[in-house]
Structure 1
């Protein structure tokens, strides 16, 4: 569905560019116009991605989508106005860029309105049935209870299997197979079967699953299904053989590590060149609030790659006596946070000094957020596989930061670990780039804490 949306936007933005240049220059299109038009569309869509407009589970109504479109278009206009100065031909100018952006904004807004109004994106949904209605199947019932959670599929129901542990699955969601699984699959045009039984030994209908597989039906294990649909790995369902035989978890090597450092160093340098005025203003603001003799920065021990301890550097956002009673979880509306601190935390400005940690090699730009040793000792005993998040470098931003709100409990830490493990399994240059682009949405809309 997101591919359909992406391609639709690309076509509309390209057509908007064509109309704008023809209106401005009163001339037919040529190869130069086409190549610049493609560049224009790519820049626009990268900003759309950065503003979260291609999120599969974006919980925004038309007004919220329009706001994001407007901001993305404004950013695109600024970027393209700079880029056009380096294009040595008569294809575009500032006027044509302006009209192209306006037309693109209108076209994309109308496109989304029609999709929402007519539920067009629902046409390609897969029909899914779950084998099992016990405790494992209950995870699907609880995690995917809203329509937005089932955007990519229609959940036909849960099939009771022998050995299932009784669970609170709604009666109307339970499917009774009158003529067997194969008959049900054919009659209801099932595209995917999710195996979520509590006890598999001698309880799975192997022959039926084999027949369904030969008919082109996808048979998926519950862990893979949850990973695919939610972008996280269900820690409480993991078993060693799944990790051993699953794809992903690509090991690091010297070439990858060198490239990672160069990539992170380049990004950090660019970020510093852009952000140093905000950092200077933050120093001044902290001094004005707390006094000239009070520190602006603070160092704190964190656990990084392979469990190594390093000193993280941040702008001080809490009072000096914030931890007189020992290490504590930060929480929403924390009384220890200063007035300046509440602002810089909201827009992630307090994280900017960690540029030094990235350049020093303690952290990467993307990765699991480093936690304090005191909390790591506590969490590793309560949450299975928690130590696995230390198999990659910690990061300034990460998949968990995008997908899960700020947490201050063991339960929150477990939820964030599910996203961290997904990142570790699928980490790649393109996933890192996508996370970095989407982080701008968090900064622009002040979603940090």
Structure 2
């Protein structure tokens, strides 16, 4: 391989290209939220934002060099600079957030409530590995409320909520209670905080921001109706469709040899057919036939009743167990994506039998059918495979988060996480 690195010329001649590169990378990182304090600052959180930022920056810098060739400083040098940018930004950020000790960078939050929900909130923050996204300055308990937080963190409500916020220099009030009746809920004081520029966050919003899911036990219809998100505009639909087609074609090209080998092994072990088609519920509740590699014996459901797959399912063939572990059985769904029945990223499609059962028992379950199902999804990379009503509820919390917040950036993050899931074989059955 021959590196196209300039061997002559002064540093000054490279300055315009270097300035352009720096500006584009900074703009790409800002566009994808890398300068926001509420982002995750552990290794995975930084990497999942940095990789798409650099990919976006590389695309723009390539276009700029094509339009203005005088700025171009060579393929080899560009490759080296991109690699150095990735390593140095990652290392510097990790060092800064791990050892800087700049506690003042974290937003300070006052929690309204001191019960079970407040305790869960505190435990979640304590689990953050490198730098928690916010600092809890104290808990303001309600009257006659059982207290589950450390006594030293209790703040007696001697004055108004706004005065406490000012006293403890807080920038956010988190409402950690679901009880809003009986005349004790300080709605006017919270309104005063909002008017004063203080952020007010309820439990659903907090867990959505920190955990990436919508808690079912804290969810209420008015929050869904009046809250932000759930954008289904024409532009988003067109962009997502283009993303689906490009990603699916690239994956088809890359994995075609693997798919051909898989088909041959299935035929050798258990004969035909190679694929199986199964009815699934898709966008707007419409059914379609999903296409997957057959991983079970032909008589897997000879009793005629649909069954959830289980870990080390005895109905699986030897080839089937391998391709399920590696998620190769999912690859033929590329055809469903190209036909427009599925998206590459979205809630996993379920069979009508289970949809009817879950819809009758799980609130808001049908909301996951407001967008196209996907080959991979937020729930698949955030929650291990499950086969019960309880698991369905847990995964629905992540599906609802995706339905509410889906974007091209989130799709990209899910694809990166999916690679990790496949390589580490997490959640396979």
Q: 1:179 Cα shift? A: 2.4
Identify the residue that residue 192 of structure 1 maps to in structure 2: 172
Q: 1:40 Cα shift? A: 8.3
Identify the residue that residue 247 of structure 1 maps to in structure 2: 228
Identify the residue that residue 331 of structure 1 maps to in structure 2: 310
Identify the residue that residue 282 of structure 1 maps to in structure 2: 262
Identify the residue that residue 324 of structure 2 maps to in structure 1: 345
Deviation track 1:1-49 (CA, whole Å, cap 9, x = no partner) reads: xxxxxxxxxxxxxxxxxxx998855632143455467778999999xx9
Give the alignment's Cα RMSD to 1 decimal: 4.1
When structure 1 is superposed on structure 2, of 188-197 and 89-98 the one drifting more is: 89-98
When structure 1 is superposed on structure 2, of 355-364 and 324-333 the one drifting more is: 324-333
> Are 2:273 and 1:299 aligned?
no
Identify the residue that residue 8 of structure 1 maps to in structure 2: none
Identify the residue that residue 269 of structure 1 maps to in structure 2: 249
1:378 to 354, 357, 361: 357
TM-score, normalised to structure 1's length?
0.75
Identify the residue that residue 140 of structure 1 maps to in structure 2: 121
Q: 1:343 Cα shift? A: 3.6
Identify the residue that residue 403 of structure 2 maps to in structure 1: 424
Identify the residue that residue 40 of structure 2 maps to in structure 1: 56
Q: 1:237 Cα shift? A: 1.7
Identify the residue that residue 373 of structure 2 maps to in structure 1: 394
Identify the residue that residue 27 of structure 1 maps to in structure 2: 10
Relative distance call for 1:333 and 1:145 in structure 2 (3 A) is farther
Unaligned runs of 5+ in 1: 1-19
Q: 1:332 Cα shift? A: 3.4
Relative distance call for 1:151 and 1:319 in structure 2 (3 A) is farther
Deviation track 1:158-215 (CA, whole Å, cap 9, x = no partner) reads: 3221364x47x24447513152344432332222111233332311234543444454
Deviation track 1:271-312 (CA, whole Å, cap 9, x = no partner) reads: 212221221122233334x14x24322222211112222111
Relative distance call for 1:303 and 1:57 in structure 2 (3 A) is farther
1:309 to 271, 287, 298: 287
TM-score, normalised to structure 2's length?
0.78
> Are 2:219 and 1:234 aligned?
no
Contact 1:348–1:448 under 8 Å retained in 2: no
SS in 1 for 2:276: strand
Contact 2:229–2:404 under 8 Å retained in 1: yes
